[in-house]
Structures are given as structure tokens and as C-alpha cells.
Structure 1
Amino acid sequence: MTSDDRGSSSISPGEEPRSSISGEPVDDPVSGSTKTRTKPKRKQLPLWQETILLLAVALVLAVVIKTFFVQAFYIPSESMEPGLILNDRILIQKVSYWGGGEPERGDVVVFKDPGGWLPPEDSAGPTNPVAQVMAKIGLYPTGGHLVKRVIGVAGDTIECCDDQGRLIVNGEPIDESAFVRRGGATCDGPMPTNGACDEDWKTGPIPAGHIFVMGDNRSRSADSSQKMCRPDETECVPGEEFVPADLVVGKVFVLLWPADRFRWNTRPDVFEDIPDPS
């Protein structure tokens, strides 16, 4: 055997030369042509496994989004008319209240029932198993929540009313005519009866970490004003009219459905002129 024989490779006819790098062009001394070794195909998961994996990722993302960013709810009553009506679908965002942020006057918020504000049927939530799963991941409204507008925050004093029937917050009357339904009453005060306003009520200062909320449909809303103790009540517990701010889930930012009523929800400018509590 010569030195040339020892330095050469033995290749059978039709055999592809080996290459140390996949995809590297090599010469075939038998045919005299140049060939490229094909990279081995990457093994793919079966379709059913890919489907399960994608569903798992989607569920995790949905739970994360519901927990930290956005959640769906519906309007359970007529208490927020005319702006939000029964069965409207809304989205709330939670970012505004990150890092110790709290609701501001004029925000429309969704909050958990502070206790006894809702009848049992409204607190139960969905009973259908599919709806229950969807509620867990934020794709279906859950029960036990209310939607109201923030009228006062910690330290505020609220009273009814000036000579135009407007609520007074920290001594400043607020014109809510653009979004409040008086229901035949002569003022924007709470729970009017037979068109007459309860002009003798006053509440506050609101305790730290709490808010005072009212529905826009003032004559048809179970809200903070309904929980206030009246002079002739003997079993009322003072303070139940205030909602702990940590029960607030988020702020309504869009009316999503029905499509012909779609709109962004923003804080009315009239609340910007309210002075801080003295």
C-alpha cells in the first residue's frame, strides 16, 4: 500500500461522502460532482400535543391579563343609566391603581360587594360550568360586584344640595347634568321619593382608605347614599356607606358591547374643580 492509498478514503459507488458539518458542500470523487449533505429534519410534536400546548399558554396569558391588566364585566342593573344600561358589556383596567394608586372622584369603578349591598342571586355568579371556567380567566363576568361612580374620596365631605339641586363636595357644587338621571326629582341627591329630594343629608369626612359611591340613576341605585343612617333608623350601623378602596377591582375604560354603543369611558371634567378637603 502506498502513502497515497493510506491518505485516501474508500468510497463505494453511490455513497455520499461524510462531512463534519451538516450542510457543507463536498466533492464526490466517484461521480465527479459536488453534493451538499442535507440537514436532518427537526422532529415536530404531534398535532394534538401542539394544540394542548397552545391552549395551556393561552390560558396562562388570560389569567395573567385578568389578574393584572384588564377584566370583563357586565352592567347588572339600571343604576348607571343613562350612560351604562342593563347588560352592557364593559372592560375595566387595573393599571391606574397600581403602586398604591386609588380611585379618584368621577371614576366609574367596579368593586366587590362590601357586604349586604347585593341580593343573593346577584352575588352567586355564573352557574354554568363553562361560564365558571371562563369567569376564572376573565372572559366572563363574575358575580358579587357593583358598578358605581366615585363621588368622594378620603377626607371629603358631601352634602345635598345647592339651590340648583347639585351635590356639594368640599363646599363646591358639581354639575352632573351631563351624565346623571334625576328620575323626576328636583336634585342630584340620593334616593328621591315622589320627586322630592332628601336635602337634609350630609356625610363625611370620608375615612382614610375609603370612597363614597353613587349610581348615575340616582332614584334607582343601591349605593353609598342608601347605606347612610337616617334620623329615624334605630338599627343602622354608621360607616357602612363607605367602600374600602382595596375592594375596588378596577376602573371602567370602555363600553364594549353592544357594538353600536361602543365608546371610551373617561372621567368628567366637572370633578377637576373640586377643592381638596380642608
Structure 2
Amino acid sequence: MIDDAEPAPVPSGPPRTLSFGGHVLAFLGELSGVVIGAVIVASLLRALVGQMFLIPSASMEQTLRIDDRIVVEKLTTLQRGEVVVFTDPGGWLTGPVAPERGRVGRALEFVGVLPDSGTDHLVKRVVGMPGDHVVCCDRAGRITVNDVALDETSYLDPPPGGEPAVASSIRFTVVVPRDRIFVLGDNREHSRDSRCHLHDPDPTAVESSSAFVPEDLVVGRAVAVLWPVGHARRLGIPATFVPVPAAQAAPALPAIDAGPEATC
């Protein structure tokens, strides 16, 4: 096909050149576009893929220490044995409050450059999934899940003096309800976890549901410690959870049998 339209006029005169100030303004305009794009991408990654958190307490020692920076990913489904970060189900948080950041720090935290230092999240290990039968303890002092005893020596924080770590000084037998998880800290004697809320009042159930964290409150699983460098490492699922069989169908309400000491 032949285009018989008249050609566009060619501009006459020398090409337009930018002054130094014009070059600076053009550069700043391009830079602001790049920065805004990077902020948007970082914010989306933080919301949908992964996020950093700052550890404020000793409840997960020695797995996680105070001031550790951890990476939490949000894409995979929950599994028994994982370390997870979750929003306070209500009344769990009583520990130290992390120092508040300034405006710049809060902005960098929002886009994911700095770890989240908020005080409305907790970090614990998933010991029971929906339908799991979790018991403390067997004759050897071990927690059992679906009748399989856990060897927790690889991650429990041992007491001073070389004595073996105690799985739990609180005795309990529970069946985890639907859409909830049962969590424990690795520093068992200094962790306010699911065991401490087995007798919390709950008008919706015969026994308390507040001891079991709703799955929709879980932010994600901790996959690595990034900082400090000397403690940096990957966080996986301990081998002791591998032989635990799948749970039975989860009940709508929990089953709980616990002693009076289950209040922490």
C-alpha cells in the first residue's frame, strides 16, 4: 500500500540543548520515578512475599535471640515444626516493648528495608496443626503429637548447669480445632505460648479457644536469621516432626485437659 499523504514538515534550526539546570531537573525527575517504582515494588514484596522482623524477647532462645533479624516468607502453607510469626490473638503480649523508630525508620520499615519492630506480633514454633492430638508428656518427659514422641533436644533452650531441657512443666492434653494451630516457644520456661491460655475464658466454647492461634492471623514462616552475621542461618523443620502422622479430621471446638498450672 502506498501512502500518498504529504510528508510532515522537517523542523528547521539547530537542535534544542538543555542547560546544566535542565539536565539536573531531568535527572531528578528520572531518579524520582525510579525511587517511586522501587518503593512500590518493595511494598508489594513486603505485603505478598516476605518481610523482616526484629526479635524482642528471649522466648525462642536459642533458636532466635534478642535483636535477631529474621526473614518471614508468606507464600507456602503451614507445616508442623515451622517457626512462624503471627498477630497477637488477644492478650498474649506482655513482654518487653521494642523502642519506637522515628519517621524515617518507620518509612523504611514500611517498605521492607528495615525489619518490623512492631509490638503486635509474636514468634513461636508450630507443634500442633488442626486435628492434632498433642500431649505433655509421656513417661520420658517428651511431648507427643498423634502418639509420636518428639525429640526436641536440637532446638530447646537447656537450663544452666548442663541439665537437659524440660519439654514442659505444664501438663496438658489437647486436640487442636479446625483452622487453628498450637504453638510453643523453644525457651519453654520463659515463653507465654498456647499452654498459658488453656484456661482463658471463652464464651464460644466449653473449653478455651484462645490457646489456639487462628491460621488467618499467621503472617508467615521464618526461613532464615539474617543478622547478626554470627547467628545467621537457615531455619528449617526439625527432623523429629517428619515421622508424625497426619491428623484426624479437626473438630470445630478444641478438646482440652490441663492442670491448674496452665496459666503462666
Instruction: List alignment gaps of at least 5 residues for structure 2.
Output: 1-7, 203-207, 249-264
Q: CA deviation at 1:41?
A: 8.9
Deviations 1:11-49 (A, max 9, x none): xxxxxxxxx9x9xxxxxxxxxxxxxxxx99999761221
Alpha-carbon distance in 2 for matches of 1:236, 1:213: 19
Residue 130 (structure 2) pairs with residue 154 (structure 1): yes
SS state of the match for residue 56, structure 1? helix
Taking only aligned residues, the RMSD between alpha carbons, in angstroms, comes to 2.6
Deviations 1:121-171 (A, max 9, x none): 63x883421122122212231411111000001001111111221101111
CA deviations 1:70-128 (Å, max 9, x no partner) are: 111011100111111111011111121xxxx3x11101001111111113963x88342
Contact 1:106–1:271, Cα closer than 8 Å, also in 2: yes
Aligned pair partner of 2:102 in 128, 131, 140: 128
Aligned position for 1:107? 82
| Deviations 1:41-78 (CA, angstroms, capped at 9, x unpaired) | 99976122122111101101110110111111011100
The count of residues paired between Structure 1 and Structure 2 equals 224
- Tell me, in whole angstroms, the C-alpha distance in 2 between the residues paired with 1:216 and 1:203: 19
What is the aligned counterpart of 1:203 among 174, 178, 181? 174
* Contact 2:72 2:223 (C-alpha < 8 Å) held by counterparts: yes
Matched, 1:139 2:113: yes
Shift of 1:218: 0.3
Match of 1:5 in 2: none
Gaps of 5+ in 1: 1-19, 23-38, 190-196, 230-234
Q: AA paired with 1:70? A: G
Please give the per-residue CA displacement for 1:215-263, whole angstroms capped at 9, x wherever unaligned.
Answer: 000000111111111xxxxx63311100000111111111100012211
- Which secondary structure state, in structure 1, belongs to the residue aligned with residue 124 of structure 2? strand
Higher relative contact order (CA 8 A, sep 6+): 2
The answer as to 2:91 corresponding to 1:116 is yes
User: 188, 196, 199: which one pairs with 2:167?
Assistant: 188
Quote the residue 1:7 is aligned against: none
> TM-score, normalization: structure 1?
0.73
Taking structure 2 as the reference length, the TM-score comes to 0.77
Q: How does 1:44-63 map to 2 (within 5 A)?
A: 46-63=26-43
